[in-house]
C-alpha cells in the first residue's frame, strides 16, 4: 500500500534518499519513510510560512522552522550551574582507569546466544581464578591486546567507545567486573587494575560546554515535539506512526 501525505504519494526515491541515515537502525526502511514524510511536511510548511526553502538544506530548514515556530531559550547561568552540581563525576581532567579486557567480538556469522554463553562461562572461570585472566585473553580475545594478556593500559575519557567508557569509569570496584560489558564491538570481560580520579574542572571553565550541551538537548526535544505536531495535523495513509519509534520519542 503506498504512503500518501495530504493526498501526495511518497515516491520510492524519496525513501531511498533517506536510507543512508538509518542503516544502523533496527528497521531502517520504516525510519527512512518517516524521515521522508517529515521532509515533505517541512517543505510544505516552509512554503506556507514564506520561508525560502530552496536556499536551505534539510537541517537548515528544520532550524529555521524551529526558530519561527518553537524557539528554544539559551541555557541560563542557573541551569548550567544545576547541571554542573548534579554531575560531580563529569567535567574532570586527568582521570584514567588502567584495565585489561577479553573481547568476544560480535560478527554476522557468530550466533549471539552461543557467543554470550562462551563469554559468560569464561567470566565465571576468570572470577574463580583471577590469575588465569591473561591466559584466557591470549586464548580467546578477538582484540589485538589479547596477545599481551588483554592489557589496555591507562584509558582516558574520550579514547574508547562511549558505551565502553561509561561502564569502565562507572565501575565501583577494582578487579574483574562481575558482569559482561557490552559495546558496539562485542562482549567484554573487564579487569580494573588501578584508577585515578583526576581533578574536577572549575565551573567557569566548562560553563560554555554545558550551555552548548543543554541547548542541543533542548533543541532536540523541541524538534521531536514539532515533528510530532506536523505529523499529527497531516493526513497520512499507508503507515502507522504510533509507538516506540514515532518521531516524538526518537
SS3 letters across 202-226: CHHHHHHHHHHHHHHHHHHHHHHHH
Residue 148 has pLDDT above 90, yes or no: yes
Q: Which of 126, 124, 156 is nearest to 138 (CA)?
A: 126
C-beta of residue 140 within 8 angstroms of C-beta of residue 120:
no
Ordered by where they begin, the domains of the chain are 4-75+207-237 (no CATH), 99-200 (3.10.50.40)
Strand bridging mode 181-183 / 186-196 = antiparallel
Q: Nine-digit cell at 15?
A: 525513501
Q: What global pTM score does this model have? A: 0.62
Q: Which of 24-33, 35-44, 160-169, 172-181 has the lowest mean pLDDT?
A: 24-33
Quote the pLDDT of residue 52.
82
Concatenate the DSSP letters of all residues of 29-44 into one string. HHHHHHHHHHHHHHHH
Euclidean distance between CA atoms 124 and 16, whole angstroms? 46
At residue 220, does pLDDT exceed 90? no
Residues 202 and 210: their CA atoms lie apart, in Å, by 12
Average pLDDT, the chain: 89
Contact 61, 42 (CB under 8 A): yes
pLDDT of residue 84: 97
Tell me: the pLDDT tens digits for 39-62? Answer: 899 888 888 888 887 778 888 888
DSSP reduced 3-state for 96: strand
Residues 224-246 pLDDT 10s: 888 888 888 899 999 887 644 44
DSSP tally for the chain: helices H, then strands E? 8, 10
Rounded distance between C-alpha atoms, residue 169 and residue 90, angstroms: 10
For the stretch 62-115, pLDDT in tens is 888 888 877 788 899 999 999 999 998 889 899 999 999 999 999 888 889 999
Amino acid at each position: 500500500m503506498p504512503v500518501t501525505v495530504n493526498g501526495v504519494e511518497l515516491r520510492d526515491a524519496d525513501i531511498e534518499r533517506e536510507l543512508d541515515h538509518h542503516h544502523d537502525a533496527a528497521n531502517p526502511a520504516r525510519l527512512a519513510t518517516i524521515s521522508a514524510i517529515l521532509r515533505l511536511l517541512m517543505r510544505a510548511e516552509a512554503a506556507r510560512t514564506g520561508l525560502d526553502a530552496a536556499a536551505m538544506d534539510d537541517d537548515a530548514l528544520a532550524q529555521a522552522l524551529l526558530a519561527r515556530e518553537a524557539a528554544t531559550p539559551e541555557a541560563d547561568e542557573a541551569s548550567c550551574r544545576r547541571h554542573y552540581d548534579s554531575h560531580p563525576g563529569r567535567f574532570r581532567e586527568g582521570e584514567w582507569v588502567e584495565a585489561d579486557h577479553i573481547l568476544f567480538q560480535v560478527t554476522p556469522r557468530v550466533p549471539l546466544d552461543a557467543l554470550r554463553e562462551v563469554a559468560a562461562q569464561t567470566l565465571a572461570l576468570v572470577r574463580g581464578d583471577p590469575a588465569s585472566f591473561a591466559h584466557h585473553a591470549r586464548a580467546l580475545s578477538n582484540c589485538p591486546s589479547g596477545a599481551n594478556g588483554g592489557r589496555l593500559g591507562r584509558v582516558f575519557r574520550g579514547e574508547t567507545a562511549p558505551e565502553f567508557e561509561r561502564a569502565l569509569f562507572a565501575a565501583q570496584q577494582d578487579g574483574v567486573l562481575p558482569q559482561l560489558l557490552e559495546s558496539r564491538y562485542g562482549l567484554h570481560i573487564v579487569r580494573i587494575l588501578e584508577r585515578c580520579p583526576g581533578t574536577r574542572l572549575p565551573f567557569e571553565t566548562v560553563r560554555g560546554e554545558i550551555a552548548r550541551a543543554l541547548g542541543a538537548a533542548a533543541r532536540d526535544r523541541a524538534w521531536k515535539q514539532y515533528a510530532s505536531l506536523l505529523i499529527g495535523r497531516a493526513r497520512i495513509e499507508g503507515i502507522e506512526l504510533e509507538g516506540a519509534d514515532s518521531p516524538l520519542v526518537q
